[in-house]
Structure 1
């Protein structure tokens, strides 16, 4: 039976950073990575951004070279069906079992799907393989229907429009970005898309996928209308993959519950990335799905698995970029909260999201560089003085 000192379930960004930390702190321990993805670990943010807009960043820049750099034994297209904590084994599809000394759950998230037929031209966008399929289908003048106004949907819509597609973007908000940004910023954000020719279908939800033989693929909307095109890209967010953790009897709430060392309720099992509910040093108990958290929590879990007493104290930031405009944020972006907006000029702004006591619980930095630590400090210090807040981030 195959056995590893350290076994990682999942082959994304978490696995890469965890394997590197494991190797840095344990030069001889054996590392196994089991991934259901068809590709070795890769940088996911590039799939909706750099690969479409940076001619010097090609597909060969996407792999992270995890196995080559760490000596990990990597298996792709391999599904773990069960964890047996008492035996310290995992079972693979087909019945093979693998022993582990210490286990890291890094199973990530599964894209939300729309009901309807399967078709190559309909992509629930998440993986490197999805990118390759979309790139293959993309021709100049292609008609693309993009469903969802969040990170994936907006970034894909922007990238496709910059690559010659005629894009229709379907989203439930009345103004694009209104579920995160105050009206002044949401309107500015939406204008980026209309200025680049994206056709918007605001205030609508896609209910089902449609295929018309060899003609259009499309979606039926909640008002009964239909939108068709050559390609449909669904970007409706993702759900954490928690089934393995639940089956193993681990404590699970909104995510896999871990302590400040990222250890689960089983002392031989750690978890990191999208799937964890963890005690953030500033934000309190939280779950977050962005790449900064994947990287930092993966590295922290790797260190912890080798015996480090250091705690995971990093408060992640998240970001997006469309049409060359980048925004970053820390904490909660909820425009139903009271907001304090500081507009330095027509292009650069900071928005503070305040709780019922006037304390900042989130900070949006619109085209503001190098201010993540300042944003973390503002939240950690619970600054309520409006004048002091206005001058905190410039």
Structure 2
């Protein structure tokens, strides 16, 4: 970590030119964006996590599936920017008039420009506070789950969405018995065409995952022998540990308490600015006016890094009286599950009309391959690229056209091989 002394340090308050609350990927990228414009301004990063910024996707992907990818490959190296990183520290309040923040232990830290890159906190189940119950998000959570996995131990994974699916796939490939509890009839049934969701579920069972669909966890207990989950179908499940992947709640409380606008995220303009000219937001917690999708909030790595970088540049440009550039990139997201993977842009919802263009339809022995287009009426709202790569720019172009589409327009619009 860097120990560069911040400008304006007194016996009472350390003041940074740029103070970043949150120590995730958006914070790391923002520090790098600042440095593109301002090579000398002091940067402070204050985060709740006990570890410095990490490449978060690796925690549910490569660290489990790529033996050549190590923990050392996961660290982002924020200290390369000269930022002073203060970990295991929660900020409880922002005093906008005084340009200070106050931590849980009463420390005051000053700022000239403040970025809220607060991310989110994993949604919680009503389960015991036990080391064998992991609500998964951080590097510390990865270490705990890695300690529970392997040697044929039996773990439950709860939640059939993005993180839950990746964890179930990762664990079963690491000598772990997995029971996968989720509320859908088929994995991804809330966002994929039915045949793809059914095919994906079958792929998990072929890999050895025991699926427990249409089920929710209502409670549980822990004792010396393990963890017992109570399910809403009246049954119980006894396991050695539990990984919960139910998504996050955006961490907006700090902004709301400071009187900033919050609406499913911290409301910012296209530059990442809140209504306070010295306070900005980026990453998982930010709600911004995407030029294609409209006002949105995205909880994926590309947005964290690209928006973080863009807003870091804006902060530094504003501080130096330069013209700033807005954040105009519509982010994509991706996942890897066994021998399949996808990239996507926009909204994926089974409630929308879908046009599927398959090179290899779901249901065969091998992976499916193709493109699914999501429509509201004749307006394109999302594109799923299943085992189709390097086509997110083409998807963005189709979405950005803001025109009506027919099925004939879309089939073949993006090559499926």
Task: Give the TM-score band, short-chain normalised.
Answer: over 0.9
- Matched with 2:15 is 3
Q: What is the Cα deviation at residue 344 of structure 1?
A: 1.2
Q: Is the 8 A contact 1:383 1:389 kept in 2?
A: no
Tell me the distance in 1 between the aligned counterparts of 2:199 and 2:20. Answer: 42
Which runs of no fewer than 5 residues in structure 1 stay unpaired?
none
Q: 2:69 aligns with which of 35, 57, 63?
A: 57
Structure 1 residue 116: deviation in Å?
2.5
Which residue of structure 2 aligns with residue 329 of structure 1? 344
Give the unaligned 5+ runs of structure 2.
1-12, 318-322, 362-367
1:185-244 deviation per Cα after TM superposition (whole angstroms, max 9, x unaligned)? 111211210110100000001111321x21121311111211111111111111000110
Aligned to 2:281: 271
5 Å-filtered alignment, 1:164-243, equals 164-211=175-222, 213-243=223-253
The Cα of 1:388 is off from its aligned counterpart by 2.3
Q: Which residue of 2 aligns with 1:93?
A: 104
> Does 1:363 pair with 2:374?
no
Q: Distance in 1 between matches of 2:398 and 2:226?
A: 50
Residue among 282, 297, 305 paired with 1:295 = 305
Give the Å deviation of 1:383. Answer: 4.6
| TM-score, normalised relative to structure 1 | 0.98
Task: Give a deviation string over 1:102-159, Cα, whole Å, max 9, x none.
Answer: 0000000100111121111111111100101111122321101110001111111000
Match in the other structure for 1:21:
33
Q: CA deviation at 1:359?
A: 1.4
Q: Assess if the C-alpha contact under 8 Å between 1:141 and 1:166 holds in 2.
A: yes
2:351 is equivalent to residue 351 of structure 1:
no
Of residues 125, 133, 154, the one that matches 1:114 is: 125
The alignment yields a C-alpha RMSD, in angstroms, of 1.0
Provide the rounded CA distance (Å) in 1 between the counterparts of 2:242 and 2:148: 10
Total equivalences in the alignment: 391
* Counterpart position of 1:286: 296
- Alignment TM-score, normalising by the size of structure 2: 0.92
String of CA shifts for 1:302-358, please: whole Å, max 9, x gaps.
0100114211100011111110311111111111111101001242111111102x1
